[in-house]
Amino acid sequence: MAKEKTVYVCNNCGQESPKWVGKCPSCGEWNTYVEEVIRKEVVNKRPVSGIETEKPKPIVLSEIEADDEPRIDLHDEELNRVLGGGLVPGSLVLIGGEPGIGKSTLVLQTVLHIPEKRVLYVSGEESARQLKLRADRLSHNSSDCLIVCETSLEQIFVHIKNTRPELVIIDSIQTISTESIESSPGSIAQVRECSASILRFAKETHTPVLLIGHINKEGSIAGPKVLEHIVDTVLQFEGDQHY
């Protein structure tokens, strides 16, 4: 059985400390340290994804092919413009915003208009019936969008391995948890570990992943500066409270 230890983690910047401190020495915020229980040793040394990939080897710089990969057209002129011309294969994009502002609706509407891509939509907050009702309200022409309601990271990778999607949606990252960490979903440790595993999967398989994340009352993404540093792009979804 793996040994466990308790550490204190700053909710603002992710800095760890062996004991509780009032002021974070890294970001200077007060009363942001929370207790996290993590495992000292990992029982399973295999990758969390369970997807077999070739181990990287050192390559001479001159031998690396640097051709521009075609971006994925999201069939949304503004979204393509913000992403620099489309979604880059193997990229990890975070869409952040207040709860209820329309992140899930925007993403679902976007992926339903990409009939040429096989999409896996992982919902940790809503049921398949709720997503179906929302999709019916949106005009779409996609019949190859797969829906699965799951919050276990290990099971999500099983579904990915079985379906081999060309685009993965995680809604939302705060609801996903891994068995290797005993903290509750949404905690700093869970968000960091799950995001790192998803990033590793995206880079090794060249599969783009869209993460949906909530922001807290202070206006920052819930869980972290840690999450902002892991992803490739952060899109802040904002609106006007009066219109």
**C-alpha 156: how far from chain center:** 12
**What is the residue type of 36?**
E
125: Cβ contacts below 8 Å, ≥ 6 apart: 104, 171, 172, 175
Q: In this structure, which amino acid lies at residue 86?
A: G
Domains of the chain, each with CATH number or no CATH: 1-46 (no CATH), 70-237 (3.40.50.300)
> Model pTM greater than 0.85?
no
User: Rounded distance, CA 51 to CA 48, Å?
Assistant: 8
| pLDDT at residue number 225 | 62
Answer whether residue 175 shows pLDDT above 70.
yes
**Per-residue burial over 20-39, b = 16 or more CB atoms within 10 Å of its CB, e = otherwise:** eeeebeeeeeeebbeebebb
Other beta carbons within 10 Å of 42: 10
pLDDT of residue 241: 66
Residue 213 pLDDT greater than 90, yes or no: no
Give the model's pLDDT for residue 218: 57
- Which phi and psi (to 5°) does residue 11 adopt? -70, -20
The stretch 149-162 carries a mean pLDDT of 94
Task: Judge contact between 93 and 119, C-beta under 8 A.
Answer: no
What order of strands is seen across the sheet that includes strand 145-149?
145-149, 119-123, 167-171, 209-214, 92-97, 233-237
> What is the three-class DSSP state of 215?
strand
Which residue's entry shows tokens 């990409």?
A: 114
* Percentage above 70 pLDDT, the chain: 82
- Specify whether the CB–CB gap between 237 and 200 falls below 8 A: no
Q: Poorest-confidence range of 32-36, 108-112, 160-164, 233-237?
A: 32-36
- pLDDT, one tens digit per residue, over 66-119 is 677 788 999 889 999 999 999 999 999 999 888 888 889 999 999 888 888 899
**DSSP assignment string, 105-135:** HHHHHHHTT-TTS-EEEEESSS-HHHHHHHH
